[in-house]
């Protein structure tokens, strides 16, 4: 799996996991958090490997949809960058821009 995709969905999952149905959340966490294969998850949950894949793809889409609408992950990343600035005036200005959605 692409490391960027892995990090992206892990970050989104940490932000939006409470919006995902608990039974599906567990499967997603086993795949992304515990790094189990789809077959291992299928065996553990007594479902087909194909079903595991469908659940993971659906949750990836849900997470992306939440982020596209709410942009919490983007704002967190922008705030992290701003906090590395050494000028308090620039920090205040950039935080205001983030809060305004600019």
Tokens of 86: 């050494």
Assess whether pLDDT exceeds 70 at residue 1. no
Mean pLDDT value across residues 54-67: 97
The long-range contacts involving 72-77, CB below 8 angstroms and separated by at least 24 positions, are 72/15, 72/16, 73/11, 73/12, 73/15, 76/15
Element (H, E) at 67: helix 49-70
- pLDDT greater at residue 9 or residue 81: 9
Read off the pLDDT of each residue in 76-85 and give the average, rounded to a whole number.
Answer: 84
Which tops the pLDDT comparison, 36 or 80? 36
Q: Indicate whether 101 pLDDT > 80.
A: no
Query: Average of pLDDT values for 51-55?
Result: 98
Q: Which two tokens stand for residue 58?
A: 């659906």
Q: Where in the chain is the domain with CATH 1.10.10.10?
A: 1-70
Mention the CATH class of domain 1-70: mainly alpha
pLDDT, residue 3, reads: 65
What is the distance between the alpha carbons of residues 83 and 46, in angstroms, rounded to a whole number? 46
Better-scored residue on pLDDT, 101 or 45? 45
């Amino acid at each position: 799996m692409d490391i960027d995709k892995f990090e992206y969905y892990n970050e989104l999952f940490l932000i939006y996991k409470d919006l995902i149905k608990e039974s599906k959340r567990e499967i997603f966490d086993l795949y992304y958090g515990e790094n189990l294969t789809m077959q291992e998850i299928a065996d553990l949950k007594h479902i087909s490997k194909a079903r595991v894949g469908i659940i993971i793809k659906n949750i990836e889409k849900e997470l992306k949809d939440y982020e596209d609408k709410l942009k919490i992950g983007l704002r967190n990343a922008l705030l992290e960058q701003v906090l590395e600035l050494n000028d308090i005036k620039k920090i205040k200005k950039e935080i205001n821009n983030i809060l305004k959605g600019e």
